[in-house]
């Protein structure tokens, strides 16, 4: 099992480390021709405007839509969540537009409002220490999307079949249980194809 981390910009090394702790082989991905060998992909935190521009420039848009169409799991954190969403509040154009949800960028305010907190996540037994950095939130979800976590009545993690997204940064702590959750998704997807 091989999981890629989209390495156009953002916190790539941290995701690779967390995926490895969760028992997966993890590699960074900069070109579309590297997608073929992957069983799943993480779209990391970073600046969503930068990542979105570089994805378009280097033909990742169609390639990642095809990747998803094959049922291969994708996990977006923070900026990655924005990239996965069908609708972005205040913006006409979404990026991959794969998850049926509306997201709001920088929803908690500027950097001085960034925070960390303990968070309950469905499918993860004990609370997770969640780091929110200029984080987006999920304003609403449509049909087919399960809410996995809520903070102060706002949705901060969700899943739609093989797609997983969260507002915070599980890669910034030593707790790799959410990565484990994703690795298990990849295992299931491989098992269902076998």
Binding residue positions = 46-48, 105, 133-134
Residue 10 found at the interface with another protein (CB under 8 A) = yes
Query: x/- site string to another protein, residues 43 to 82, per CB under 8 A?
Result: --xxx-xx--xx--x--------------------xx---
Assess 17 for contact with another protein (CB under 8 A). no
Among 36, 92, 93, 111, binds another protein (CB under 8 A): 111
Name the phi and psi angles at 187, rounded to 5: -60, -45
Return the number of the residue (36 or 112) whose C-beta is nearest another protein: 112
- Annotated binding residues for L-glutamine, written as ranges, equal 46-48, 105, 133-134
- When asked if residue 106 is in the footprint of another protein (CB under 8 A), the reply is yes
Q: Does the protein bind another protein through residue 7 (CB under 8 A)?
A: yes
Element (H, E) at 68: helix 60-69
Cβ neighbours for 105, distance < 8 A, ≥ 6 positions apart: 48, 82, 88, 89, 90, 91, 136
123, 181 Cβ separation under 8 angstroms: yes
Q: Is 14 in the site for another protein (CB under 8 A)?
A: yes
Contact 8, 53 (CB under 8 A): no
Measured in whole angstroms, how far is the alpha carbon of residue 36 from the centre of its chain?
A: 19
Residues forming beta bridges with residue 99, ordered by sequence position: 85
How wide is the angle at C-alpha 111 spanned by C-alphas 98 and 166, nearest 5°?
25
User: Smallest gap, in angstroms, from Cβ of residue 95 to another protein?
Assistant: 14
**Residue 10: is it exposed, middle or buried by C-beta count within 10 angstroms (0-12/13-18/19+)?**
buried
Output the DSSP codes for 97-114. Answer: --EEEEEETTTT-SGGG-
Q: Kindly state whether residue 172 participates in binding another protein, applying the rule CB under 8 A.
A: yes
Q: Pick out residues in 149-168 that bind another protein (CB under 8 A).
A: none
- Stretches 42-50, 65-73, 157-165, 185-193: which one binds another protein (CB under 8 A)? 42-50
The catalytic site residues sit at 78, 169, 171
Residues interacting with another protein, by CB under 8 A? 7-14, 30, 45-47, 49-50, 53-54, 57, 78-79, 105-106, 109-117, 131-134, 169, 172-173
């Amino acid at each position: 099992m091989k999981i890629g981390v989209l390495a156009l910009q953002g916190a790539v090394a941290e995701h690779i480390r967390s995926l490895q702790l969760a028992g997966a082989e993890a590699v960074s991905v900069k070109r579309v021709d590297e997608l073929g060998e992957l069983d799943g992909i993480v779209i990391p935190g970073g600046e969503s405007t930068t990542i979105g521009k570089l994805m378009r420039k280097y033909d990742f848009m169609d390639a990642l839509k095809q990747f998803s169409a094959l049922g291969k799991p994708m996990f977006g954190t923070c900026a990655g969540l924005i990239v996965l969403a069908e609708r972005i509040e205040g913006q006409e154009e979404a990026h991959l537009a794969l998850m049926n949800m509306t997201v709001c960028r920088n929803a908690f305010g500027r950097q001085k409002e960034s925070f960390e907190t303990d968070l309950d996540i469905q499918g993860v037994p004990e609370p997770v220490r969640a780091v929110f950095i200029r984080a987006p939130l999920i304003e609403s979800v449509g049909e087919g999307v399960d809410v996995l976590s809520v903070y102060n009545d706002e949705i901060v993690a969700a899943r739609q079949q093989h797609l997983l997204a969260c507002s915070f940064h599980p890669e910034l702590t030593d707790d790799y249980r959410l990565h484990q959750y994703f690795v298990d998704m990849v295992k299931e997807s491989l098992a269902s194809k076998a």
